[in-house]
Structure 1
């Protein structure tokens, strides 16, 4: 008799336990945020489109940086331009006291990807850059979120400091490294980040660490036919070196990626080349694993030089950490994504997306338009790398991604550029601004959440001491 009686006694408890967690609600602060982003939406879209049209590469983003920094200043932020010895880097600040929340914004383009806003490949300016990673949307959406939070601080509805970081050269030199070296991220409690993608979700996966370096070989020129025995070929050394890298591919872990770009392999066919140069990149899921391969590949350069009887030189460009995931912050993003609901697309936008999928040989399934559950964090990292990784080892970074291109779209391609300059990208921009700002408001209003985010950061980081992988001296402006 005891078992049935016990079960009856437990029924109310079980019923309570089975109840779903209360659905997130739109607070007055979040309603104000949505109204703010909506009010600024025409300006934000205009700025994004102008950055899209400017097509500016790493460290050349003068128009793009000016558009963003001027708009921040016009909206009451104190702006410091040209920070960390980079003319296109800036920090826009509003408020005082704690918590201090940062938000990252990128705005550089990629070479050779210029494209019209149409779903088939058609360059806007042949051979020119394009925003194949959606950074025109990235910086603008982040600024939109910062402005919405600033307005709440101004109205006395939030307390703390908001900082927008204009970060240049993510695609080539990783400008955040020099900003980190200058201490610009020190003192933040939490930093927010997002990236354009093919899905809308909280980002709780890591990335790949990498290192970039230049290898140069110097030999002796000679006539390639009359007296080649007098030559010492730098091109031979280059070929031996790249052959060594390609042989090594069989003997590294599956997580390792090795790339190289031959920048100079000789000038004419009838001269034994006395100079060659290539850019090498090594990646792995962790800084430690990457460094092991890096050390080995550097030794191989010496071997190639010995075989070809030439001199060699290795120059560090820069290197970045893998992203340190923060699930506590991801939970905040998730709740606000669920509160806002999915991005809704018109029939015309869906048709545009499917045409892009057809043009790139992908299944014609359209755009991601649903809110997925918060993912489990998997071991290792995604195929990409970002200098946000370095920031995440200095301060807790809370991340999300938003659909700005169709599912399956090849990234760093003309297809991403096409969507980033029209309504598909625009909708992602506005949705992101709202989500980030609402999440910042939640964090600013909840000291326990700030401490939870920071505690996870400390636990994941352990006793590691951050050290940026950058060469001495100023950033490579103009290189």
Structure 2
């Protein structure tokens, strides 16, 4: 009965929910600068009776909102930052809304709105059925670049939470049990000396040469690191024009590995390569070792609760128009790439899904003991409290994350269908946790067992790099 209260509220308010998601999709804001998106979420929560705090943990766009009182405290987490260069119209072909602009190529407009709708819906049930406990919404900025949850964790904002739920749009419906890679993000600034590239090249010291030599060195390093690790980079700035020896250049690296102690030796070697590149080119290096994180601690108890709620809600039912949109969009990917994605992720009976543009099946989690190559700041939360981030099929089958295809899906009816399914699933799971203290205790016991005595090393002095974020936002969002 209490779940029906929550689910009926979502059905009744479907248009408002999808409109909020679409507005955040249109705002497409850079991490730590999600001013319009966070304002919309905070005002909506306040309108529905939540006590709202904004600007927490040194982040102006961070939100904590709650309804109810006492234990248990059940958290839902929502993200709303977009990605550079992934702007696209709501069409099944590549057509940027703004050339070079920001876009929700990871579906965070749906991510944040799912948590919002679930919190409000579960809150309505909490009031109507006079349930005990607290529902808490965390608006977590900058997942893609500065790891807002990591900052909130370091400030102790999850310490009293009994369980936390998150939803991430994907291409399958599953409450995954995979862990995630640890990540370290590093910017390397090289400073040289400018000169005329033709007239006085001997007088110059090229910062771009240093960046390129570092990249070459790192590419040779790849053979000598563990196969599960990942290193990727972009050159963010390489100079102005070819006839000037660049006196400044900058690269941005991500280094990933399954656990922190496996990451550190790789990071140290990358640093040595950067120092060597500076020495070879007689340039000066400034290394900006920024955000980092932990690997995710999966939780089977929470996975089972979420999966049961997925099944209670039922597989999403798409219209013929939505399937037609997905089919046209699917023409942008190779069937071989779809097959590779299914096989790589060891999807059970993957052969059955090769010809499916949208996968509606609800899977039992099959991937306990594996590590996803990606990284997320949800992992930091999982060290503090039992945590589950589940996926629903928002993107078409086989299309990559961080892609224009994902941006297109996130702003259309295909994404809306995933959003409503996820919001009902999350609301039902919140209510199960509020009313079943034994399951909450089981989830905590499992979390502690998986941690094997390890603890999170908090630093309450951590601050959000707001100046850097605003500078980058100006660069990336200047076209908007």
TM-score by length of 1: 0.90
Correspondence for 1:404: 394
Correspondence for 1:14: none
Task: Measure the CA separation in 2 of the matches of 1:162 and 1:434.
Answer: 15
Q: Structure 1 residue 89: deviation in Å?
A: 0.9
* Structure 2 unpaired stretches of 5+: 336-353, 472-480
Task: Measure the CA separation in 1 of the matches of 2:249 and 2:461.
Answer: 22
What does 1:380-395 correspond to in 2, within 5 Å? 381-395=371-385
* Residues matched between the structures, number: 451
Q: Structure 1 residue 364: deviation in Å?
A: 5.0
Cα offsets for 1:393-446 (capped at 9, x unmatched): 121112210111211112211211222122111111111111111111111111
Correspondence for 2:157: 184
Q: Structure 1 residue 225: deviation in Å?
A: 3.7
Task: Measure the CA separation in 2 of the matches of 1:310 and 1:95.
Answer: 58
Match of 2:453 among 463, 471, 478: 463
Label 1:474 to 1:369 Cα distance change in 2 as closer, same or farther (>3 A).
closer
Q: Once superposed, what is the RMSD of the aligned Cα atoms?
A: 1.8
Q: Structure 1 residue 470: deviation in Å?
A: 10
* Structure 1 unpaired stretches of 5+: 1-27
Match of 1:333 among 298, 306, 309: 306
Match of 2:470 among 457, 461, 478: 478
Correspondence for 2:295: 322
Cα offsets for 1:116-172 (capped at 9, x unmatched): 222112222332211111111111111111112211222244210011011111122
Cα offsets for 1:335-370 (capped at 9, x unmatched): 112222211112221121111111233465221112
Correspondence for 1:84: 57
Task: Measure the CA separation in 1 of the matches of 2:129 and 2:65.
Answer: 19
Correspondence for 1:5: none
Task: Measure the CA separation in 2 of the matches of 1:294 and 1:305.
Answer: 17
What does 1:29-178 correspond to in 2, within 5 Å? 29-178=2-151
Contact 2:196 2:244 in 1 (8 A): yes
Q: Structure 1 residue 324: deviation in Å?
A: 1.0
Correspondence for 2:343: none
Correspondence for 1:20: none
Label 1:444 to 1:143 Cα distance change in 2 as closer, same or farther (>3 A).
same
Label 1:176 to 1:306 Cα distance change in 2 as closer, same or farther (>3 A).
same
**Do residues 373 (structure 1) and 346 (structure 2) align?**
no
Task: Measure the CA separation in 1 of the matches of 2:376 and 2:85.
Answer: 20
Q: Which has the higher contact order (CA 8 A, sep 6+)?
A: 2
TM-score by length of 2: 0.90
Contact 2:3 2:125 in 1 (8 A): no
The structure number with the bigger radius of gyration is 1
Task: Measure the CA separation in 2 of the matches of 1:271 and 1:116.
Answer: 38
Q: Structure 1 residue 174: deviation in Å?
A: 1.5
Q: Structure 1 residue 109: deviation in Å?
A: 1.2
Contact 1:133 1:416 in 2 (8 A): yes
What does 1:296-307 correspond to in 2, within 5 Å? 296-307=269-280
Deviates more, 1:181-190 or 1:233-242: 233-242
> Which consecutive aligned stretches of 4+ in structure 1 deviate over 6 angstroms post-superposition?
none
What does 1:214-229 correspond to in 2, within 5 Å? 214-229=187-202
Label 1:470 to 1:172 Cα distance change in 2 as closer, same or farther (>3 A).
farther
Deviates more, 1:469-478 or 1:208-217: 469-478
Deviates more, 1:283-292 or 1:468-477: 468-477
Contact 2:151 2:462 in 1 (8 A): no
Task: Measure the CA separation in 1 of the matches of 2:64 and 2:308.
Answer: 29
Deviates more, 1:449-458 or 1:270-279: 270-279
